[in-house]
Structure 1
Amino acid sequence: MRAFREARHTFIAGSRIDMGGLATSLGVDRTSLFRWVGNRDRLLSEILWSLAVPTLDRASRAADDTGSTGAARIVDVLDRFTADLIEAPYFRAFLTREPARALRLLTTTESDVQSRFVGRVTTLIEHEQSSGTFDPGPLSAEELARLLVRISESFTYAEFISGETPNPDRARAAFEYVLRPDAAHADPTRTSTTPSPSPIGDR
């Protein structure tokens, strides 16, 4: 849909999405725009998730390239994803520009972004569990996924939650502390500064 694509490009460019301005640029009235994409929060939620998906996919492919399995693979995927969010200019611009709205849309049940993220992490855990390379212990895959998502959020939005500077290395350390990956499966070449290009489709 043209309205979504234009709003998404505006977001990636680091600019604020204005529904009135978007409607004008499309040559429609606000009623038609709201009918197409919902209200501003709904539109932002869909844009945020549309950017999270390719970021998660890149993290998964990169983890696969290292040959890691089990807890080490889960740590690697979450580490890369969290580092990418921390370093993505358009994402940091949104957090700085609209911190209250960003946290509400990303970390609460008022938006389905968090629930979708939990779903993806749950699937990641279940894959390693079914492969026989990981045991989540006393927690279900979904319960562990919710814990790991909260850890990711705590470090990604650290400046707004705790007043600290977001730090990918500390996020990885937290994932490793919880999951206790076998050191033999760790990727010694992993660095915490993974580039965060826009999704391939937006280049």
Structure 2
Amino acid sequence: MSSPGRTSVLGNQALDLARRKFLAGDRLDMQKLAAELGVDRSTLFRWVGNRDQLLATILSALAEPTRQAALAATTRTGAARIADVTGTFAQALIDAPYFRTFLRREPERALRLLTTKDSSVQHEIVAAIERLVQQELDRGHLIHPMSAHDLAYLIVRIGESFIYADLITGEDPDATKAALAVAALLGDPAYTPKGTSV
């Protein structure tokens, strides 16, 4: 019987292999993944959960550094800072080949995992944006009658509407529109997205 420490190491190895396959654009097949790791499916399940849980873990793990990079890419404050982060994060997802492959291959599962309360992914993104909004409120760079949590939820939903536009409405994904919509929500109608002229 494996010790908890060994189980954790093996679970991390399983997650690492699954993440590499996902980034390569491969469909995650739990049976094949288990075989590659030299274990049965029940052991893999104990390590990483079911397929949806594994995908959610990978998506969350990829979202956080992407969000951090978006945050580091702006020097603005207040509504403009939040809109910049939204637009940069959205563009990174729109541009990521592995992510678009996943959305095209499994659109219903992707939307369920990314945009509903059935998964931890949206919850974690809302929490991260809530921290950003609260920071701008606390610093006096943003004034808004809504709570940080409610604003964060709306910001995430706006981002989702434009990132997954091709799946939801058949229109092209558009990070600039996401940034502009967030700026408008936060009371900055004069906002100019990064990389565009006034």
Q: TM-score with structure 1 length normalisation?
A: 0.87
Residues 29, 49 of structure 1: alpha-carbon distance in 2 compared, 3 angstrom cutoff: same
Which of 34, 49, 52 is the aligned partner of 2:63?
52
**Counterpart amino acid of 1:178?**
L
C-alpha separation between the residues in 1 aligned to 2:64 and 2:170?
A: 28
The within-5 A match list for 1:76-95 is: 76-95=84-103
The question of whether the paired residues in 2 share the 8 Å contact of 1:4 and 1:37 is answered with: yes
C-alpha separation between the residues in 2 aligned to 1:109 and 1:187?
A: 32
Find the counterpart in structure 2 of residue 148 from structure 1. Answer: 155
CA RMSD of aligned residues (A): 1.4
C-alpha separation between the residues in 1 aligned to 2:161 and 2:192?
A: 24
Which of 19, 35, 43 is the aligned partner of 2:30?
19
Give every structure 1 segment of 4 or more consecutive aligned residues whose post-TM-superposition deviation is greater than 2 Å. 180-183
Q: Please state whether the residue corresponding to 1:45 is helix, strand or coil.
A: helix
- Unpaired runs of 5+ in structure 1? 193-203
- What is the percent sequence identity of the aligned residues? 51
Which of 125, 128, 138 is the aligned partner of 2:133?
125
- Unpaired runs of 5+ in structure 2? 1-11
In the TM superposition, what whole-angstrom CA distance separates every residue of 1:42-95 from its partner, at most 9, and x where no partner exists? Answer: 0000000000000000001111xxx21111111111110011111111100000
**Counterpart amino acid of 1:177?**
A
Which of 85, 97, 100 is the aligned partner of 2:105?
97
Q: Please state whether the residue corresponding to 1:31 is helix, strand or coil.
A: helix
Q: Please state whether the residue corresponding to 1:163 is helix, strand or coil.
A: coil
The question of whether the paired residues in 2 share the 8 Å contact of 1:68 and 1:187 is answered with: no
Tell me which of the two structures has the higher relative contact order, counting C-alpha pairs closer than 8 angstroms and 6 or more residues apart: 1
The within-5 A match list for 1:153-192 is: 153-181=160-188, 183=190, 190-191=194-195
Find the counterpart in structure 1 of residue 3 from structure 2. Answer: none
Q: CA deviation at 1:180?
A: 2.8
